Structure 1
């Protein structure tokens, strides 16, 4: 199922309207190195995620990311980033906070922490030792009557466009792209896809960046070049 969603989302990349694919170079082909999706079957579950309470969205992101990465040998984890995309985001945590405030109850501090999507994106990066950029985007809602599959397709299409830009700019060599949606009514996990992607022709490393190796010709090399 994840491959079909991925292919359809790739065809929709040119119609994304978040501004991610404004550069022509963003339409380079992406090579998919690994993929995973949730649910894999009707009885599929999402295990709890330590550090996140009463949550559905954050464990969903962490689980589909783990399914994508657990059997992979990353060429360079320090040059692998995380790109998380969701149109709805975490729909449950804001309701829990609002209910506690309305009833005069104390709000658990963890709810404020986990309401930021960067929290779980950073958790994924730390869990897998990824040192590349961590980016979160929220594509436009679009058609409110869209089916769950169409919603995820549009979310993934925007994510792939942004991933292409990051790779084209040399920000990373690989990106873990996660598109995840939570049910708006119950807050239960709905659908998620994770893709580990790289550019078909990776951008050259910026040799002027701090820490980059630079070759300085020796005196003998300079003499040889003049001969």
Structure 2
């Protein structure tokens, strides 16, 4: 454990797995995703939209974020990105066919976030990142950075498609650093979303010890072994499962996890709030 602790309020969370899945104690029923106008072929954008809609359903109650939208940041984290669009677009170009602008995969992540920003009146900073390995620590680093930079809340989305095809895996292998282990491919399409808010810390006297953890506090294990089917999303899905279990069983009012990333080692303490 580290002496550095970050505290955030988790308002709502959602996980969408169209095919349904059981991973450890987590059981997700199959769910349909709706087509998003302007996007073709790939499940990437519909997955993101479905996860966000579910995450914000109780927060906005059919409306938009309104004034909160200007104080909300968006973060989209993925490893492989929209492999379906990139693969289809490259195959069409290789065959000599005319390029279809809807298959410019570089624009898909920012465009779908633009749709979400429009639908929920979000005007804060937007960040799309492709992260190596398990994306949890680096994605949560971005959440902290945006909240510390003045935003009140951040909507974090993680997404991966099934990566059983040889071409995406081969491309990833070529980009991997020397000696770096490759992330396990995802065996299911999935998107997970979290709405985090900043917690205003009470003033603390110089030299005073940090407050002790609450008696009702759950801990996220370091290794997300039971969630390997989610590939690079395993850590975020494990966090989701821990949060959902704590809410359902009413056994904890906070969840803690250790983070070790490029910004250093720290402990993240997530307070369980309610959508409002």
Residue equivalent to 1:206: none
How far apart, in 2, do the equivalents of 1:114 and 1:189 lie?
A: 22
5+ residue gaps, structure 1, are: 1-10, 15-23, 143-153, 203-227
- In structure 2, the residue matched to 1:28 is 6
Q: Counterparts of 2:161 and 2:77 in 1: how far apart (Å)? A: 12
2:194 corresponds in structure 1 to: 195
2:270 is matched with none
What is the 5 A alignment of 1:8-23? none
RMSD of aligned residue pairs (Cα, Å)? 2.6
CA drift of 1:88 comes to: 1.1
Between stretches 101-110 and 40-49, larger displacement belongs to: 40-49
Which structure shows the higher strand fraction?
A: 2
Secondary structure of the 2:195 match is strand
Q: How does 1:61-72 map to 2 (within 5 A)?
A: 61-72=48-59
Equivalent of 1:50 in 37, 40, 46 = 37
Gaps of 5+ in 2: 21-27, 169-186, 202-276
1: distance between equivalents of 2:157 and 2:42?
Answer: 17
Select the structure of larger CA radius of gyration. 1
Mapped to 1, the partners of 2:29 and 2:68 lie a distance apart of: 35
**Contact kept? 2:82, 2:105, Cα under 8 Å:** no
Aligned length: 167
Q: How does 1:19-168 map to 2 (within 5 A)?
A: 27-39=5-17, 41-73=28-60, 74=65, 76-112=68-104, 115-140=107-132, 142=133, 154-168=134-148
Structure-1 residue corresponding to 2:262: none
Contact residue 57 and residue 189 of structure 1 kept, 8 A: no
Q: Residue 175 of structure 1 is aligned with which of 154, 159, 177?
A: 154
Distance in 1, Cα, partners of 2:156 & 2:46: 16
Where does residue 20 of structure 1 map in the other structure? none
User: 1:28·1:199 contact (CA, 8 Å) conserved in 2?
Assistant: no
Q: Which residue of 1 is the match for residue 215 of structure 2?
A: none
TM-score, normalised on structure 1?
0.66
Residue aligned with 1:175, SS = strand
Separation in 2, partners of 1:114, 1:106:
17
Partners of 2:188 and 2:108 in 1: how far apart?
Answer: 17
Deviation at 1:42, TM superposition (A): 4.1
Deviation (angstroms), 1:120: 1.2
Q: Larger deviation: 71-80 or 131-140? A: 71-80
